[in-house]
Structure 1
């Protein structure tokens, strides 16, 4: 019987100062513009075997590319064929009898970084009850100056009624006042040419959301912003948030009336240490700076937002996932979840990244180093545990491990989750 194995290629964008997709953003610095360039794209692969109900199994790029060369696999489509064509590790070999043809799925998660494997423990972790102050504030009812009578996360946002300088907290968004952007997580001043964004300048502390700007915002843990325009950057830059026109805020994705929408759920951070940890999501689509905060409180479990790759933002037709930066223990979210200068291993210079995504094949979770930005090691350990993980994956003592032991090249690990809950556990 012929089975058609599907291999998902997870595209990895390694950046010097931020993450991205091979494009550049401009970050405004007083009177000059600085271009932040991205690094090379890397890939990791997951086998999806129909005979095992699609249960994912991580494999190396060598195994994937050699399997293609030996005709054991074939691309579901050719979206990321460059993953192997650019690799010198796999070369075709001749076989007298071709192996059964399988199928390789392309870059299902365009934003998930590095290859990864699951936790050292496959035991199920029961969640503990934890509600962050940000969640409580966002879900509580509050009075509104608009005609909508906003009631937090469930409130429909009224186009053209709210001043651009008035942050829409009463509609579920979480104000980040410490960034100095009027509560917004990022502001992009865009230039439109022929229905494409030809130029993007990213605001810095002290700038405002005003006409001509895209004004992005954070949501409580477990939620993500719902707004981004169809019009994106001409060279692949992402743009997101509410649009400021004529001094008023407008939806850019009117199919969603609420500003914050839930992810698929089932992914959590469990902090078993005595110190709090700042876990920072990239503002994506948008500035792609790690400004969306989660304060992982000591002894508590928190939801980690996992976007649905089939319905959330698509980059050039490819599904995307979420990327998180893990700061050293004791660093506050206010300090760690913003652009850094490299003087400390925090923010975009934090030592460790998490990749979280979902497709029809299940969830894909990863742990990987923040290279080539930094070679610093995190001052605690991280492991993945859960109900149904495809492998082990842990970061311990600065080294990555899967079920086979230490990972060659220390490049990180990725696991698939077909059902149940999964937990990133922080421990010493």
Structure 2
């Protein structure tokens, strides 16, 4: 077992740019000044709190003293901080839709031709074969990069999350790493290795081996594929602002970096994984989870780790659950607990012919045929199209 690096928590007047970290441990230092900013130190360098939080969530970082990693949060500013999401005006018929200022375009070729295994250099992002480049991760377009430092008969151990500072001459898909990617809306990543983390960590993407990108799936050489063909799931945005809907990069770093940008007055597809053909976690079938950000948040801001006290990214108020299993699609809306108790400001309703019941979120309540609660609701549908109506 390698000796873990030490990640320290200390006070500073500014937050440093990201620096490297491995399978590390946190070390806390008490600070007397309540107005200073909390940062992290690793082997003499500094990493920001978002990067540290990401490492904690995917298991590549840990507290040296066994403390609570939530102390990674910055101190509460005074007295006008964490901006509450702007209240959404009642939609008027004459309201002109506001197109998001996002510069991101979810291009890519969907389920394109087979990937040329072992031909492209690891420095080449494979847009030509369906992958969608994500610029805001600062990883050369990859949604996440994982480098297992140990391999045993039970799986990968000491899985390091590669950060920007560890990129080599701009190439972040380094030797021995699994490099994950997004696909355009309606498609999903279909490359991940059969071997996974020995203690339950998920690993996904293409492998950089001997300087070349290699497929990792034993079932397909394509990079992107559709989910079930039995049910179509779509988001219909009736509001005047965009909604950034961000899927968890799974299997992989499990950051919410896979974007779907629901622009005003549009319909966009959500991938509905068929559990029989999707990723199994320790023998258990899995589905897709999406984070629904407040209206008006760009995908650049919403589809990445959020900050404690904020309401974007993994701190977004609401999740969508989407998956097909046992002959039906199971579609849900639910509160993002225990991460946040903040309520979504707009209404979300499921609509579709043949749904098993009703499910709607409005004014902090999730309501179905059986009543209302503050947690969530789910319906099933065997065929056809089901919509998330945002209004």
2:365 pairs with 1:423: no
> 181, 186, 190: which is aligned to 2:139?
181
8 Å Cα contact 1:26-1:36 kept in structure 2: no
Query: Could you say which residue in structure 1 is the equivalent of 2:119?
Result: 161
Q: Kindly indicate whether the alpha-carbon contact (under 8 Å) linking 1:27 and 1:202 is maintained by their aligned counterparts in 2.
A: no
Equivalent in 358, 370, 373 of residue 392 of structure 1? 358
In structure 2, the residue matched to 1:96 is none
**Offset, 1:205:** 3.7
Q: What residue number does 1:244 align with?
A: 208
Partner of 1:277: 243
RCO higher in 1 or 2 (8 Å CA, sep ≥ 6)?
Answer: 1
Counterpart-to-counterpart distance in 2, 1:156 and 1:192: 30
Measured against aligned partners, the alpha-carbon deviations of 1:49-80 in whole angstroms (never above 9, x if no partner) come to: xxxxxxxxxxxxxxxxxxxxxxxxxxxxxxxx
**TM-score scaled by structure 1?**
0.66
Which consecutive residues of structure 1, in runs of 5 or more, have no partner in the other structure? 1-24, 39-131, 140-151
Moved over 4 A (4+): 25-30, 32-35, 132-135
Aligned to 1:86: none
Shift of 1:172: 0.7
By how many angstroms is 1:255 displaced?
Answer: 2.2
Return the alpha-carbon distance in structure 2 between the equivalents of residues 153 and 266 of structure 1.
17
Number of residue pairs matched? 295
Q: CA deviation at 1:234?
A: 0.4
Please give the per-residue CA displacement for 1:137-185, whole angstroms capped at 9, x wherever unaligned: 323xxxxxxxxxxxx7322111111111211001110000121000001
Q: Is the 8 A contact 2:322 2:330 kept in 1?
A: yes
Contact 2:104-2:300 within 8 A present in 1 as well: no
Residue 133 of structure 1 and its aligned partner are, at CA, apart by 8.1
Contact 1:369 1:411 (C-alpha < 8 Å) held by counterparts: yes
Distance 1:267 1:316 in 2: 27
Paired position in structure 2 for 1:413: 377
Q: In the aligned structure 2, how far is the partner of 1:180 from the partner of 1:300?
A: 29
User: Superposition RMSD on alpha carbons, in Å?
Assistant: 2.2
CA deviations on 1:160-214 (whole Å, 9 max, x unpaired) are 1111121100111000012100000111111233231012122234441100111
Is the alpha carbon distance of 1:26 and 1:387 closer, same or farther for their aligned partners in structure 2, counting shifts above 3 Å? farther
Q: Offset at 1:246?
A: 1.5
Distance, in Å, in 1 between the alignment partners of 2:378 and 2:23 is: 31
Deviation at 1:400, TM superposition (A): 0.8
1:138 and 1:153 in contact (8 A); partners too: no
Match of 1:197 in 2: 156
SS of 1:345's equivalent in the other structure is coil
CA spacing shift, 1:187–1:37, aligned 2, 3 Å: closer
* Partners of 1:172 and 1:290 in 2: CA distance: 19
- Where does structure 2 lack aligned partners over 5 or more consecutive residues? 1-21, 26-39, 44-51, 59-102
